[in-house]
Every structure is written in C-alpha cells, then in structure tokens.
Amino acid sequence: MSGWLAVAGLGPGDEALLTAEVRAALSEATDVLGYIPYVARIAPRPGLCLHPSDNREELARARHALALAAAGARAVIVSSGDPGVFAMASAVFEALEDRPDWERLDIRVLPGITAMLAAAARAGAPLGHDFCVINLSDNLKPWALIERRLRLAARGDFAMAFYNPCSAARPEGMGRALAVLREECEPGRLVTFARAVSTAQECILTVPLAEAAPQMADMRTIVLVGNRATRRVGRFVYTPRRAE
C-alpha cells in the first residue's frame, strides 16, 4: 500500500509549539481531516484537500482517513494538543478493528504538546509530582464514573488536570466537580484555571479551592488542581518533587 496515515497533534494553539515532525507530515499530505476549527489552522495549498467535519464524527472521520490512505493518499488527521489525549488516535484504532485488511497500512501517531502541559508550564510546575488527567465530559461515559475517579484521585493525593470542564450543553460539569473536590480536599487546595493557553486570549488564574467558581472555566479552559503539598512561590505554583 503506497498511502499512509499520520495522526497528528497540532499543540495548544501557538504555531511555535507545533513539532517539526508534524510540520513535515503536513507538508507532504494530500489530505487533512479533522474537527472544523483544527482543520482551519492548516493553510490551503495546491494539491491539498481539506476535510473539516463536526466534533462528534470521530469514527466516520477515522474511517474516511483510513480509506484515503488505503487508496494511496497521504492523509493526516489533526487534533489539538496530542492526538492520544482525548483525541483522534483512539478513534483511528477503533475504526481499524473493523478492517483487518487495513492493518498493514503505514499508520503513525505524531505526538504534540498538550494543553495540559502548556498550561502547567505557564503556571509553573503544578504537575511536578504524580498526577492524573480526567475528562469531565459525560458524552462518552456516565457522570457516576467521573465522580468516582475524581474522589479516588483526591483521596490518593494526586494533582489533577481536567479537560472539557463545561460546555453549552453541559454547563453543570465544573460545578459538580468542584462540589466533589470540596468534600474530599481542604479549602486551601490550589486550583489553576488556564484558558486559551499560548493564544492571544490566554488567561491564567490560580485560586484556593474555597474561592473556585464554575464560571472560571469554559471549553477552552484546562483546570489544574494541586495535591496537598502544592504551593506558591512568587507568581508561580509548583508541586514539590518529593512526597511525604
């Protein structure tokens, strides 16, 4: 099979944070597929076909990309951040399960800088020790599972990063998460709201848990919650490398 498929992470927003590996794949691509705003980040050029699609069409997008590659195209599926973090890499392999004849395709997953890591870097080092990442969207899993994971992470004293804290369809998500944290954590626990990191709209706000409010987050926000040892030093927030 002469075609190939790259599943690429575009990073958090700033073009300077796009990896050289992803740039090279995009320069060779004949087709780029992805969620509408992510495909909009790709500059049109002769010989390149752009395929934007809706956010909830991940499996259809993955099947389309695999079919293009099987037909000889050089296809790139783009995600923001890293394609393996709540993004398209899993969808591609899920689609591949239905087509074992495509398993010999040249498929590459190209990592990107996640919004979580970009947000942590802007804040200082709040993920400096053990941490976990939780998607607060209940579109693909029940809220009861999200709540269970939140409680266990808090009881395990993990620092936490939250993706998709709320949306127009799920305005209550962040409030429900904060309610769980207040039951499990001390009121002084540091919470960082990092919105639109690495773009012109970037805003970083760190407050104690007692002052955290749902309206501090939207779908462009990554929320970072420290562990018991997380503290401030000047304008920075960090979690010590040693646990007691």
Q: What is the DSSP string of 147-169?
A: HHHHHHHHHTT-EEEEE----SS
**Mean of pLDDT over the chain:** 95
> Residue 234 forms beta bridges with which residues?
none
At 201-210, the pLDDT tens digits run 999 999 999 9
Sorted by where each begins, the domain ranges of the chain are: 4-113, 116-238
Of 109-113, 120-124, 216-220, the poorest mean pLDDT is in 216-220
Closest listed residue to residue 173, CA positions, set 207, 216, 208: 216
Q: Please report which confidence band the pLDDT of residue 1 belongs to, taking 50, 70 and 90 as the band edges.
A: low
Predicted local confidence at residue 55, as pLDDT: 85
92 band by pLDDT with thresholds 50, 70 and 90: very high
CATH class belonging to 116-238: alpha beta
Q: What is the pLDDT of residue 211?
A: 98
Given a cut of 90, is residue 147 above it in pLDDT?
Answer: yes
4-113, what's its fold? Cobalt-precorrin-4 Transmethylase; domain 1 (3.40.1010)
Give pLDDT, residue 174: 94
Q: Which helix (H) or strand (E) holds 58?
A: helix 58-70
